[in-house]
Amino acid sequence: MVFDLIRYAVFGVFVFSGAVAAGTWAVRTKRINPFGRTGQLVRKVSDPVLQPVESFLLRRGGNPQNAGWWLLGISVVGGILIITALDWIAMTARRTAQAAERGVSGLIGLVVYYGSGLLLIALIVRVVGSWLGLGPFHRWMRPFYVLTDWIVRPLQRVIPPLGTIDITPI
């Protein structure tokens, strides 16, 4: 129920930011008279919302006329991130509660589950990093190499690399 309310709130923010973006576009392109009551209402409602976005764009050399569309994009990406993070937290809490009900074996299974997920992500990052030329001595790649060296090193002794690309993590 709480998650449904959050989803509705995120959708409401998306609809509001879409209305603000469309309204400011209509006023700017004179599809709505900027000096009429509707245009003034649109500007009165949208200006306080868009002012921080416009100043952000100005500081970074962007066009403040695009602030409405930036607001819409930020609301979409932010909404997706919020919903995904909350779903992940809820799923983690459920898994932890179920593992605790099963006792020690359930908790060990949970640790194995999350450990294997972490190793999988580390392997994927290592593969993509090798495609981009980021080796084990690159500052951001060191943790991923530390996590996966015990798996990949024995395979590297048997499987040769293909040029500059190391296929053993695949």
151 and 89: one domain? no
Tokens at residue 44, please?
A: 């009165």
79 and 145: one domain? no
Lookup result for tokens 């008279």? 33
The model's pTM is 0.72
Q: Which of 101, 122, 137 is the last residue of a domain?
A: 101
Lookup result for tokens 């050399």? 61
Domain count, the chain: 2
89 and 130: one domain? no
- Digit-coded pLDDT (tens) for 63-118: 999 999 999 999 999 999 999 999 999 999 999 999 999 999 999 999 999 999 99
86 and 122: one domain? no
79 and 49: one domain? yes
Q: Bridge-partner residues for 95, per DSSP? A: none
Burial 93-119 (b: 16+ CB within 10 A, else e): eeeeeebeeeeeebeeebeeeeeeeee
64 and 141: one domain? no
- Residue 120 clears pLDDT 90, i.e. is over it: yes
Angle CA 98–100–101, to nearest 5: 65
The domain of 136 spans 103-170
Q: Which of 79, 101, 123 is the last residue of a domain?
A: 101
The pLDDT confidence band at residue 169, using thresholds 50, 70 and 90, is: confident
108 and 91: one domain? no
- Residue 162 clears pLDDT 80, i.e. is over it: no
